[in-house]
């Protein structure tokens, strides 16, 4: 049985955000499924046509039923208009309205009690697609948590959630105003700090895998800041095997995670 609520008179897909402040409009069914599995109370409503939904969206609709989450029929294209969403993209016909996931405290993020492991810190990464891809890889490789900054960094928008494809629901994160303070707190918790730079002399292959590491990934253009690098215990590079000497930060993140989580 399909669950529905009545759309307010004159309401369009574009102004749903006026009723649901501090929410996100997610369009990737995998990111929505993850939210339903981890925090169904924060999934407020779903806009999908069960008769036309693919397998992933059918799974979303089915999982919404026991939680009594409203499933609404999308408006026809002529009623939706072309107003851009608050996330910068265009509003689609099939989506879910989901509350933002709250971060955890820095103490909770770092106090896991594991003898070895990998955490990630993002030093002013500004492209939401990169941030989302890093969260997705972090979930894949079992990363303990991610630290990101509030200022001069990509906010955790719907784009980040959708690109992460559920990774953001799985990986704990904390938003910090000062990355240097977070690095010092990590050191007090027994973590070693590993910076990344294409100019570093040390190869990632020479990094000790038996330590607890906080891996710092830098800005897309400038890399990690000098102040951040000075606080690192070690700095490593990914050795190039060809003519191109650098990687996109999210690709580099995946390579480094794969290397560092290996026993």
Say what the pLDDT of residue 22 is.
87
Q: What three-state secondary structure class fits 33?
A: helix
Higher pLDDT: 170 or 112? It is: 170
Does some domain include residue 8?
no
User: Does one domain contain both 117 and 40?
Assistant: no
Among 218, 193, 195, 198, CA closest to 126: 218
Label residue 3 by pLDDT band (50, 70, 90): very low
Nearest one of 138, 216, 132 to 180, comparing CA atoms = 216
Of 79, 99, 119, the residue that ends a domain is: 99
Residue 2 domain-assigned (yes or no): no
In a domain, 5, yes or no: no
Determine the average pLDDT of the residues in 109-115. 85
pLDDT at 5: 36
> Counting beta carbons within 10 angstroms of the beta carbon of residue 246, is it exposed (0 to 12), middle (13 to 18) or buried (19 or more)?
middle
Q: Which of 45, 64, 99 represents a domain boundary (last residue)?
A: 99
Are 240 and 113 in the same domain?
Answer: yes
Q: Is residue 3 part of a domain?
A: no
**So what's the pLDDT on residue 4?**
36
Q: What's the average model confidence in pLDDT over 135-160?
A: 96
Q: Residues 192, 147: one domain?
A: yes
In this structure, are 240 and 193 located in the same domain?
Answer: yes
The pLDDT of residue 131 is 98
pLDDT above 90 (res 19): no
Domain membership flag for residue 4: no
Rounded to the nearest integer, the mean pLDDT of the chain is 87
Q: Does any domain span residue 192? A: yes
- Show which of 81, 99, 117 is a domain's final residue: 99
Tell me the residue range of the domain where 69 lies: 13-99
- Domain co-membership, 125 together with 177: yes
In a domain, 88, yes or no: yes
Is the same domain home to 70 and 134? no
The structural domain count of the chain equals 2
Q: Is residue 233 pLDDT above 80, yes or no?
A: yes
Q: CB neighbours of 214 closer than 8 A, spacing ≥ 6? A: 119, 120, 121, 147, 183, 186, 191, 192, 193, 194
CATH of the domain at 247: 3.40.1280.10
**Residue 7 clears pLDDT 80, i.e. is over it:** no
149-197 per-position pLDDT tens digit:
998 999 999 999 999 999 999 999 999 999 999 999 999 999 999 999 9
- pLDDT bracket for residue 115 (50, 70, 90): confident
Give me the CATH number covering residue 75.
3.30.1330
Give the pLDDT confidence of 63-88 residue by residue, as tens digits. 999 999 999 988 766 554 444 443 33
pTM across the whole model: 0.87
- Supply the pLDDT for residue 60: 96
Q: Are residues 25 and 95 in the same domain?
A: yes
Name the band, by pLDDT with cuts 50, 70 and 90, for residue 114: confident
Does residue 136 sit in the same domain as residue 91? Answer: no
Structure tokens at 44: 């407020």
Q: Is 6 within a domain?
A: no
Q: Give the pLDDT score at 77.
A: 60
Nearest to 85 by CA among 33, 32, 140, 23: 23
């Amino acid at each position: 049985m399909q669950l529905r609520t009545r759309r307010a008179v004159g309401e369009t897909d574009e102004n749903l955000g006026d009723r649901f402040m501090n929410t996100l409009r997610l369009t990737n069914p995998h990111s929505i499924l993850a939210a339903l599995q981890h925090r169904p109370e924060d999934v407020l409503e779903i806009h999908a046509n069960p008769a036309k939904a693919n397998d992933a969206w059918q799974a979303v609709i089915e999982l919404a039923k026991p939680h009594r989450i409203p499933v609404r029929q999308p408006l026809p294209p002529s009623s939706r208009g072309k107003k851009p969403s608050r996330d910068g993209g265009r509003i689609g016909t099939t989506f879910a309205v989901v509350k933002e996931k709250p971060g955890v405290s820095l103490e909770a993020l770092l106090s896991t009690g594991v003898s070895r492991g990998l955490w990630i810190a993002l030093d002013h990464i500004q492209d939401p697609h990169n941030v989302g891809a890093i969260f997705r890889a972090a979930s894949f490789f079992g990363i303990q948590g991610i630290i990101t900054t509030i200022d001069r960094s990509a906010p955790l928008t719907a784009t980040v959630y959708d690109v992460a494809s559920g990774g953001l629901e799985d990986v704990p994160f904390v938003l910090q105003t000062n990355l240097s303070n977070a690095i010092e707190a990590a050191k007090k918790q027994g973590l070693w700090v590993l910076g990344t730079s294409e100019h570093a002399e040390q190869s990632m292959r020479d990094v000790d895998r038996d330590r607890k590491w906080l891996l710092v990934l830098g800005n897309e253009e400038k890399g990690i800041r000098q102040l951040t690098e000075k606080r690192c215990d070690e700095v490593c590079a990914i050795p190039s095997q060809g003519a191109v000497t650098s990687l996109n930060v999210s690709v580099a993140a995946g390579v480094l995670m794969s290397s560092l989580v290996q026993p």
